[in-house]
Amino acid sequence: MQPDALVRGLHRGDARSVARAITLVEEGTDQGMAILEKLDRERIDRALVVGMTGPPGAGKSTLSAQLIAQLRDRDLRVGIVAVDPSSPISGGAILGDRIRMMRHALDPEVAVRSMATRGRLGGLCSAAGAAVRIMAASGCRVILLETVGIGQSEMDIVALADITVMVLAPGFGDDIQAMKAGILEVADLLVINKADQPGARRLHLDLAAACRDGDKGGQKILETVASEGQGVDELLDRIFLLEEELRQGPGMRARRARSFELETLDQALELLREPLRRRIRDTEGGNRDPRRLAREIVDRLVGRKPGSTAAGGKHGR
């Protein structure tokens, strides 16, 4: 199918066209690039991207499924991009988020896509960002971007979101002190899932104290029991309220500018990966210091005199 026909199909919300378009983009084809250039920008601007992150076992997928159900009850088209770890053998996603979303599988107004990390971050930000835009152009009002954990790779993926929801649960050994330096800072909303279990109150108090210590009193803490659907309506209302606040001020523009920078950088690094590998193989490095060799290669690529000071600071910063 030609790009124009695929774009017409995905703008109608055709599930096969959406899936095919994402596949072409993931494969890095010229057709995929042509599709991205023809997407409905107004729909993309109207869509809201919600990042869902947190430690494994906190119930992110169960909560995401409940959010989808609530969004459909409000007659909104929904997309979900689930970033999974990869099978070391097949390279495919192994968490099976699509299985967990089976009750929505027959709903034509729900688009679900699992994306495998394949053991690396490179190229994943740009692929996930493109999938989000395709879903938005297909009419999805909200796209959930779900990651598998809370490592640096997951944080980079979630940086593509307009609003980030951190999902935690009692009894998983979450060290709030360790989480303060970076993880809590990226979260707009903190959700204590499985709030009916022992330890939920203590986790709530620890989170509240961590937010105060980090001068993040504006962060809101909510409690849910996703398996029972408890607290999901309140969470969704809070998400839309935060969206309204961001759109009324410069917040949304700033976040999308950051996402654009991240996705572009990720794609540029992915395109450079193989040329850099070839350059390294062609260099008789011997026992040379890899850091110095890397500097020399980058200096030649950007046309900078070897040993000169890089823009914004010295080498090695």
Q: Give yes or no for a contact between 55 and 147, defined as CB atoms under 8 angstroms apart.
A: no
**In what order do the strands lie in the sheet containing 110-116?**
110-116, 78-84, 142-146, 48-53, 163-168, 189-192, 220-223
**Spatial CB neighbours of 30, under 8 Å, sequence gap ≥ 6:** none
Q: Give yes or no for a contact between 300 and 294, defined as CB atoms under 8 angstroms apart.
A: no
Can you tell me the mean pLDDT for 71-94?
A: 72
Q: How confident is the model at residue 5 (pLDDT cuts 50, 70, 90)?
A: very high
> At the topology level of CATH, where does 40-250 sit?
Rossmann fold (3.40.50)
Residue 286: HSE in the Cβ half-sphere, 13 Å Cα cutoff = 3
| High-pLDDT (> 70) share of the chain, % | 78
| Sequence ranges of the chain with CATH classification 3.40.50.300 | 40-250
Residue-level pLDDT at 172:
65
pLDDT, tens digit (0-9, with 9 covering 90-100), for 90-133:
444 444 444 455 566 678 899 998 887 654 555 677 888 999 99
pTM score, whole prediction: 0.85
Can you tell me the mean pLDDT for 165-183?
A: 67
